[in-house]
């Protein structure tokens, strides 16, 4: 990966001037490269990694990972069904994967009932969807490469007889 992209992927707040110092290049060249990456779609957007448990409260927010088996359509494969699925506002991510299922869909909702209703009324009943398996996210330790909660190192107590 290009060093500019690597720096921005790690921390999008780094300025072109700071990147220039880090890479021993001119700030104008860095700005030009970033503009090119934004224009050609290499850089899609900048985002902050948040610990949503702290902003929404643990009881008022649910995220689920849903395994979806679908029937591929002639001449388009999985794309049309995936597009219909990721168009729902409840869906935050949608991936075509290898293995026992075809799509991994990440869904967010206000509570477990909201997510359950989405799966039952919108996702499972959709043409092309064969079956789903829903896994509710219980706790996040690391997301987008960032550790969210530092774990205190626990030392075993010495046992003496």
17-68 per-position pLDDT tens digit: 999 999 999 999 999 999 999 999 999 999 887 776 677 655 568 999 999 9
- State the alpha helices, DSSP H only, in 16-72: 16-23, 27-39, 52-56
Rounded Cα–Cα distance for residues 68 and 100 (Å): 9
pTM score over 0.85: no
Confidence of residue 83 (pLDDT cuts 50, 70, 90): very high
Q: pLDDT by residue (tens digit) across 100-137?
A: 999 999 999 999 999 999 999 999 999 999 999 999 99
The per-residue pLDDT for 58 is 52
Residue 92 lies in a domain: yes
- Cα dihedral 116, 121, 122, 128, rounded to 10, equals 110
CATH number, domain with residue 105? 3.30.70.920
Q: What's the CA gap between 72 and 85, in Å, rounded?
A: 14
Q: Which secondary structure element, helix H or strand E, spans residue 113, and what is its range?
A: helix 112-117
Q: In terms of domains, do 136 and 59 share one? A: yes
Do 56 and 17 lie in one domain? The reply is no
């Amino acid at each position: 990966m290009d060093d500019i992209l690597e720096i921005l992927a790690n921390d999008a707040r780094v300025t072109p001037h700071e990147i220039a110092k880090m890479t021993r290049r001119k700030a104008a060249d860095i700005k030009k490269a970033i503009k090119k990456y934004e224009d050609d779609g290499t850089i899609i957007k900048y985002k902050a990694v948040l610990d949503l448990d702290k902003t929404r409260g643990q009881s008022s927010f649910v995220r689920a990972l849903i395994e979806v088996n679908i029937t591929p359509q002639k001449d388009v494969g999985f794309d049309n069904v995936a597009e219909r699925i990721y168009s729902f506002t409840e869906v935050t991510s949608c991936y075509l994967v290898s293995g026992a299922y075809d799509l991994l869909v990440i869904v967010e909702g206000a509570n477990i009932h909201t997510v359950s209703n989405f799966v039952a009324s919108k996702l499972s009943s959709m043409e092309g969807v064969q079956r789903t398996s829903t896994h509710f996210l219980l706790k996040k330790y690391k997301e987008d490469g960032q550790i969210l909660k530092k774990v205190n190192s626990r030392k075993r107590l010495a046992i003496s007889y």
